[in-house]
Structure 1
Amino acid sequence: MRGPLEKKKPYFGLTGGWLTFWVTVACATDMSLFGYDQGVFSKPISIYRENEIQLTIFDTGGVVISQDYLEVHGLVGKTTISSTVTAIYDVGCFFGAIIAFTIGEALGRKKSIMIGTTVMAVGTILQASSFSLPQMFVGRIVSGLGNGINTATAPIWQTETSQLKWRGKLVTFEMMMNIAGYCLVNWINYGFSFVGGPVAWRFPLAFQFVFLFVLWFTTPWLPESPRWLIAHGREEEAIEVLSCLEAKPKNDPFVVSQCREISFSVRYERENGVRWRDIFKKRENDTKPLRRLVLGAGSQFMQQFGGINIMSYYFPTVLTNSVGLSDELARLLTACNGVSYLMFSGIAVLLIERVGRRGLMIASTFSQFACFLVITILLRYSEASDQGKEYASASVAFFFLYFGSFGIGMLGIPWLYPTEINSLPMRTKGAAVATATDWITNFAVVEVTPIGIDNLGWKFWVVWTVTNAVFLPILYLFYPETANRSLEDMDAYYRSNPSLIVVNDSDAISRKRPAKYVVHEAEVVEKTAAGKNYASDGTVDHIERTSQEETDF
């Protein structure tokens, strides 16, 4: 029985792995909703075949093929407008990420996600109850705004509350759940396509509330990011969160030393950081905010221009138009591909720490390049050879392999990398810029694909072969490893004024945590334990460290 003066345990008494588990539940639900919301609408596409006058329409599935939906919104025969209704969601997501960029740091991780979830709920209600095209347009934009806020915030929250050994696995797992949400909605759409009527499209839209309710009931009681708390002067709360996440007492030397390291990084960044209006000016002793921002956003750019959303939105169309399969077989192969895609994304969870972010991005991109190269060759010969059907059919295996190649690396790492590479004061802005980059390039790729498929034929695939080839030397030369390093290790790395080209620095590209960081952490913990730099209740007493001490490190 708890005594009258005994303090109630925070987070229902959960600590360590169990507390991290529930943060992961919230973040994974957020990303599952992201995948579901992307898949609930599809991209219709119109193709004019050579020497034909009649317009042939292929559809990827989703609510837009429901006859009742088309009639209610006056979209029968209006493929271009229907496509715009779908695409406007990406624009909403872009501006949602910009909102996270502007106010996310002030609100914190939890409040941002709660606001984004509530905005998505409003958008879901507007869509599921829609009886006019303007209402559906507004609903799509509003949902996009909420999703943009959430997708810019959830990976940061997970990153900043996870232990070093779990951080990469958990964020990658969230992207696996993104694919799970995408697969789920495909099967829901498929099942309700046999029902017809309003329920065939209203139910899949309303089903998003399952995810929203989970977020509403988990996020409020979970811990705020301890790094955000320290950055906003709430150190007592931060050390309580750190002690719960680490399952250690508040006055444990490891907990206090972590708080010390985070506090120093925050103070150093504030004293030496660059204002936004000066970010393009060279400074000798800055913390390389622009370089880190570009690396994070660049990973999202490469994800999109690696060709994934050609497949995600248009795969049945690709199979029917480029390969020559029947519509029924294309739909079946698309469903089967979704399952294999999910399995490959699960493999990434096992590889992310062993192979590292840098290694997986390079391997994933090289494999994507190889797949597109073979696809281009096979489709070229399918048009020029008497055995064209056989060549085209052979390309299907490489389309499947492409999804697997993307799933093991470029699916999840571009969402993880910006949260690791950016400093704490820049982390919200860096992740938001990366997320906005993802959504605007997503929109561009998806909009150009119908034109490319229609006009270029097999030559369309040359474009994506080249883009993946170009990305390989960029990843190899400029991207440092972030696996098996604390977030504060990355700050220390950039304070050392490293070269732009990383391949000559073994510490920058090593998959293992560099020895100097391990030694430094052990020394800090030892000094903290011996120096009594904390009060008996765990509150940090003297967390500052001299600039000379850090410079020596």
Structure 2
Amino acid sequence: MAVTFNVRGAPIGWSAIAVALLASMGGFLFGYDTGQISGIQEMADFVSRFGTEPPDGSVAGATMSFNKWLIGLIVSMLSIGTAFGALVGALLADKLGRRYAMFVEVIVFDIGVIIQVTSFNAWYQVGIGRLITGLGVGALSAAVPLYQSETLPRQIRGAMVGTYQLFITFGILVSNCINIGTRELDNSGSWRIPVALGIPFATILGIGILFAPESPRWLVAHGKNDEAYRSVAIVRGAKREDSNPWVEAEYSELISNYEQDIKLGAGSWLECFKKPNRVLYRTLLGIALQAGQQLTGANYFFYFGATIFSAVNLQDPFVTQIILGAVNFVCTFLGLYLLERFGRRVPLIIGAAWMVVWLLVFGLAGTLGGNPDGTVTSTPIGQLLIISACFFILGYASTWAPGIWLFCGESFSRRTRAKQASIATLSNWIWNFLIAYFSRPIADSIHFEYGFVFAGANFLNMIIAYFFVYETADLTLEGVDQMYSDPNVKAWSSAKWVPEGYSTRDDIKKSEKDADDIAHIPDNREDGTWKAKPDPVTGEERDNVRKHPETKIETA
């Protein structure tokens, strides 16, 4: 008997949790690569090998250092690769399936790691390695939230898709800890070890995903109906041979929606930019939100945290980086709760406002209490900078960090979901590159006033979230599509929209709780099927007769 637990009356298999966490290792790799470079660029062996000029640009024989534009390029090469990888990720996910696409992307990631750790004196080899690693990470960033949102039951979809961001923060924290453990080595092991450890972490995902169920939506689209039924059964904690009402209902809905998609034809890249059913609206909103996530300023701290706080009169800026990483990781758990408890819109609006406040504190403290050269000698001001950065990370990690990946996983059109997710993710990586490449030179020029720039960006994020983001909590992916297709629904009133037959979103939850009794009704017919109680909302008789997965659908 499969082990299950209930969420709002709906049976969920523990296997669904395992699937979500395993796939989220793709996010871990992203976070691990993001976090490690912040400390590595400060390590003596790395600087002496790949630095290109003396500290003052003229003294011969002095310890080498990085030109600020060169280190920006090395850091941002990951983002250049991820931008291209995000587009390739959609093609691979649609062609190979979500699981095998992730397996291939892990191999690409490993190749990039190998190129980096075999570098000796050529900075561009490190850059090329980060570029290739980025290809793998970028493709995973498109495939993982897509796979999770298509495979997991809607009752846990918000929290479980949010684990992708949780694992990003976990990767950042782990890389910070490894950096502080190897930085005292007086050889290349100080930076080679953190980079090389990416391979065993990637192997967990690459091997494990082969044993996970494939996306049932992808399987139905490729005529593999029996496997699709099995995939739905696995995450519900049911056996393939059982006539489980939850599995029957979800499988039937998959078949029905696919039949509708067949009549409409295959979704193309061009269709992502067409107006009907607000497809263009959702594409542009995804682009804006992913850009907004980067412009929150979080990666400014993650990429250059050790450098930022080395100017704040601290004996060990690496410790501060770990503190920020720990706050980021822990507060992401809060985000998983908030996005399930309060929906998607409200956390994004309040989160953006919260970040505005603390970035203003950060900018004012550094500007008014710092020196003209960007250093801070006052201990209270230094402490205030660290505290404001931590409170900023709290707001980011609990709202915009997981919330935007969740949006991309559940808000796009069924027929173009993978392509729209890739386009939106491409926006994330383009802005990631711009932040990584230009932050060091900008911060060297305006110092802590950089916080004001990000405060302004977060104010704009708050406006966008209020006027354009639709509430998708408690809806199936198909229900989300119906909501966006309703011309009478506006973003600020979207929380009141419900599918036909329901009065409120609470009615959907009540329906799920009442249906828990149905899940335990024994077979009451000679043919092994069962008859359900009347629908608790509409009062209609529900006669759930199994649709045999073996029945193939004619494809266009």
Partner AA of 2:329 in structure 1 = L
Determine if the alignment matches structure 1 residue 68 to structure 2 residue 45: yes
**Once the two structures are superposed, what CA deviation does each residue of 1:395-421 show, in whole Å capped at 9, x if it has no partner?**
432111001111111111111111100
Determine if the alignment matches structure 1 residue 301 to structure 2 residue 291: yes
Deviation at 1:259, TM superposition (A): 2.2
Determine if the alignment matches structure 1 residue 260 to structure 2 residue 271: no
Any conservation in 2 of the 1:481–1:509 contact (CA below 8 Å)?
no
Aligned residue in 1 for 2:83:
94
Determine the C-alpha separation between the residues in 1 that align with 2:384 and 2:325: 19
Aligned residue in 2 for 1:37:
33
Determine the C-alpha separation between the residues in 2 that align with 1:175 and 1:360: 15
Any conservation in 2 of the 1:503–1:509 contact (CA below 8 Å)?
no
**Once the two structures are superposed, what CA deviation does each residue of 1:314-348 show, in whole Å capped at 9, x if it has no partner?**
22333344xxx225243332222222222211222
Deviation at 1:202, TM superposition (A): 1.6
Determine if the alignment matches structure 1 residue 450 to structure 2 residue 443: no
Aligned residue in 2 for 1:121:
110
Any conservation in 2 of the 1:114–1:219 contact (CA below 8 Å)?
yes
Aligned residue in 2 for 1:377:
364
Partner AA of 1:470 in structure 2 = L
Aligned residue in 2 for 1:366:
353
Any conservation in 2 of the 1:263–1:543 contact (CA below 8 Å)?
no
Determine the C-alpha separation between the residues in 1 that align with 2:145 and 2:170: 17
Deviation at 1:74, TM superposition (A): 6.0
Aligned residue in 2 for 1:348:
335
Aligned residue in 2 for 1:78:
66
Determine if the alignment matches structure 1 residue 503 to structure 2 residue 492: yes
Moved more, 425-434 or 510-519: 510-519
Deviation at 1:543, TM superposition (A): 12
Moved more, 414-423 or 99-108: 99-108
Determine the C-alpha separation between the residues in 2 that align with 1:145 and 1:302: 22
Partner secondary structure for residue 31 of structure 2: helix
Determine the C-alpha separation between the residues in 2 that align with 1:106 and 1:498: 36
**Once the two structures are superposed, what CA deviation does each residue of 1:405-446 show, in whole Å capped at 9, x if it has no partner?**
111111111111111001232221122122211111011122
Any conservation in 2 of the 1:180–1:342 contact (CA below 8 Å)?
yes
Determine the C-alpha separation between the residues in 2 that align with 1:249 and 1:188: 42
Determine the C-alpha separation between the residues in 2 that align with 1:401 and 1:442: 22
Deviation at 1:449, TM superposition (A): 1.8
Any conservation in 1 of the 2:345–2:465 contact (CA below 8 Å)?
yes
Any conservation in 2 of the 1:272–1:287 contact (CA below 8 Å)?
no
Partner AA of 2:258 in structure 1 = V
Determine if the alignment matches structure 1 residue 412 to structure 2 residue 402: yes
Of the three residues 10, 13, 27, the one matched with 2:23 is 27
Determine the C-alpha separation between the residues in 1 that align with 2:101 and 2:125: 25
Determine the C-alpha separation between the residues in 1 that align with 2:413 and 2:342: 23
Change (3 A) 1:156 1:199: same
Partner AA of 1:26 in structure 2 = L
Determine the C-alpha separation between the residues in 2 that align with 1:338 and 1:194: 20
Determine the C-alpha separation between the residues in 2 that align with 1:330 and 1:73: 22
Alpha-carbon RMSD: 3.3
Determine if the alignment matches structure 1 residue 225 to structure 2 residue 215: yes
Of the three residues 119, 132, 136, the one matched with 1:130 is 119
Any conservation in 2 of the 1:533–1:542 contact (CA below 8 Å)?
no
Partner AA of 1:485 in structure 2 = L
Counterparts of residues 420-435 of structure 1 (less than 5 Å): 420-435=410-425
Segments of structure 2 that go 5 or more residues without pairing to the other structure are 3-10, 53-63, 516-533
Moved more, 132-141 or 66-75: 66-75
Counterparts of residues 260-279 of structure 1 (less than 5 Å): 260-272=252-264, 275-277=268-270
Determine the C-alpha separation between the residues in 2 that align with 1:161 and 1:130: 40
Any conservation in 1 of the 2:364–2:449 contact (CA below 8 Å)?
no
User: What's the TM-score once normalised by structure 1's chain length?
Assistant: 0.82
Determine the C-alpha separation between the residues in 2 that align with 1:142 and 1:393: 39
Determine the C-alpha separation between the residues in 2 that align with 1:341 and 1:540: 48
Partner AA of 1:100 in structure 2 = G
Partner secondary structure for residue 252 of structure 2: helix
Determine the C-alpha separation between the residues in 1 that align with 2:156 and 2:180: 36
Determine the C-alpha separation between the residues in 1 that align with 2:215 and 2:26: 17
Any conservation in 2 of the 1:257–1:525 contact (CA below 8 Å)?
no
Any conservation in 2 of the 1:260–1:543 contact (CA below 8 Å)?
no
Aligned residue in 2 for 1:51:
none
Change (3 A) 1:116 1:376: same
Partner AA of 2:344 in structure 1 = R
Any conservation in 2 of the 1:316–1:327 contact (CA below 8 Å)?
no
Change (3 A) 1:144 1:497: same
Partner secondary structure for residue 77 of structure 1: coil
Change (3 A) 1:151 1:349: same
Of the three residues 98, 104, 111, the one matched with 2:93 is 104
Change (3 A) 1:146 1:345: same
Partner AA of 1:152 in structure 2 = A
Moved more, 435-444 or 22-31: 22-31
Determine the C-alpha separation between the residues in 2 that align with 1:94 and 1:541: 38
**Once the two structures are superposed, what CA deviation does each residue of 1:185-216 show, in whole Å capped at 9, x if it has no partner?**
11111111112212212211111122122123
Change (3 A) 1:514 1:261: farther
Deviation at 1:498, TM superposition (A): 4.1
**Once the two structures are superposed, what CA deviation does each residue of 1:507-530 show, in whole Å capped at 9, x if it has no partner?**
249997364798799859998962
Determine if the alignment matches structure 1 residue 317 to structure 2 residue 294: no
Partner AA of 2:473 in structure 1 = A
Change (3 A) 1:108 1:528: farther
Change (3 A) 1:334 1:363: same
Deviation at 1:114, TM superposition (A): 0.5
Aligned residue in 2 for 1:55:
none
Aligned residue in 2 for 1:149:
139
Deviation at 1:481, TM superposition (A): 1.1
Any conservation in 2 of the 1:533–1:540 contact (CA below 8 Å)?
no
**Once the two structures are superposed, what CA deviation does each residue of 1:121-166 show, in whole Å capped at 9, x if it has no partner?**
1111111222352432322111111111111111111222211121
Aligned residue in 1 for 2:527:
none
Partner secondary structure for residue 24 of structure 2: helix
